[in-house]
Amino acid sequence: MAYDMRNDLQETLVSKEEIDAIVARLGAEISRDYEGKNPILITVLKGAFIFMADLCRAITVPCTMDFMSVSSYGSGSTTSGTVRIRKDLDVDIKGQDVIIVEDILDSGVTLSNLIEMLQTRDPASMKLVTLFDKPDRRKADVTIDYCGMQVPDAFIVGYGLDYAEKYRNLPEVSILKPEVYTK
Ligand code: IMP
Ligand code: MG
């Protein structure tokens, strides 16, 4: 029988309709706060690419977009706060109103390092929008300016979120069966 990736899911946590409502609310909040401005949306690949695609269309002020890809140096052994850039931004953010678009904030370690690094580039302002927040697992202090929804400490997939690069194309967000990542 053909492999059905939905057999790996325990339960749906957030339906496509709920996600749409959250994205519409975040877009409206950002549009209101950035009235008269031209913010740049910066997405950290890959998880947030689907959220970014929907969020940017829910924002009514003119905005630009750029993408980057980073990885943290080992969290346990190194606390140097260094971010390894796999793909840097194409544009200079000096003097720009930056909005970082994240899929999910977990420990916050990668993002706090990234924010620190981007601040050295002298943007006019920098805010963070995250679709999901897992507050129970936070290790680094990160201020969330726009939060879609808090989620429990479970591994979730879909709507851009992956496990081993899979499940990103599921339209809704589901809890992955623990046996999928413990076997
Ligand atoms: P952290 O906040 O530095 O620990 O890392 C956050 C990143 O870990 C997110 O951008 C995701 O790529 C990934 N991540 C954390 N929790 C989940 C999850 O439940 N499902 C899928 N990816 C996750
Ligand atoms: Mg990510």
* pLDDT score for 117: 92
The pTM for the full model equals: 0.93
* pLDDT score for 145: 98
d(CA 44, CA 128): 11
* pLDDT score for 157: 97
* pLDDT score for 75: 46
- Ligand 1 atom, smallest distance to 162 CA: 21
Ligand 1 centroid, distance to 113 Cα (angstroms): 15
Give me the numbers of helices (H) and strands (E) for the chain, helices first please.
Answer: 4, 9
Residues of the chain with pLDDT under 50: 75-79
* pLDDT score for 112: 92
* pLDDT score for 79: 44
What residues contact 157, with CB distance under 8 A and at least 6 apart? 9, 163, 166, 167, 168, 170, 173, 174, 176
d(CA 40, CA 101): 10
Residues with C-beta less than 6 Å from any ligand 1 atom:
47, 102-111, 155-157, 161
